[in-house]
Amino acid sequence: MMQGKTAAQCTRECVKQGSDFALVSGGKVYTLKGDKSQIDKLAGENVVVKGKVSGTTISADSIRLSKS
């Protein structure tokens, strides 16, 4: 995390520097692949992702805010 930045700001800055978007779930980290503009809109939020998992990569078909 970058000091003084929100989780979303930190995520976006890391992606600008060349990192991939990621999802942390149950202590595991998954790389997110898919519509970067849609993923970017929800950066730093709790989300629900639907897609295919291959190893540590999720190919996201859809992403939305989590209700909880």
Strands (E), the chain: 22-25, 28-33, 47-54, 57-65
Instruction: Give pLDDT tens digits for 36-57.
Output: 999 999 998 999 999 999 999 9
The C-alpha atoms of residue 20 and residue 30 are separated, in whole angstroms, by 10
Q: What percent of the chain has pLDDT over 70?
A: 97
Confidence at residue 1, expressed as pLDDT on a 0 to 100 scale: 59
Q: Which residues, 6 or more positions from 6, have their beta carbon under 8 angstroms from its beta carbon?
A: 44
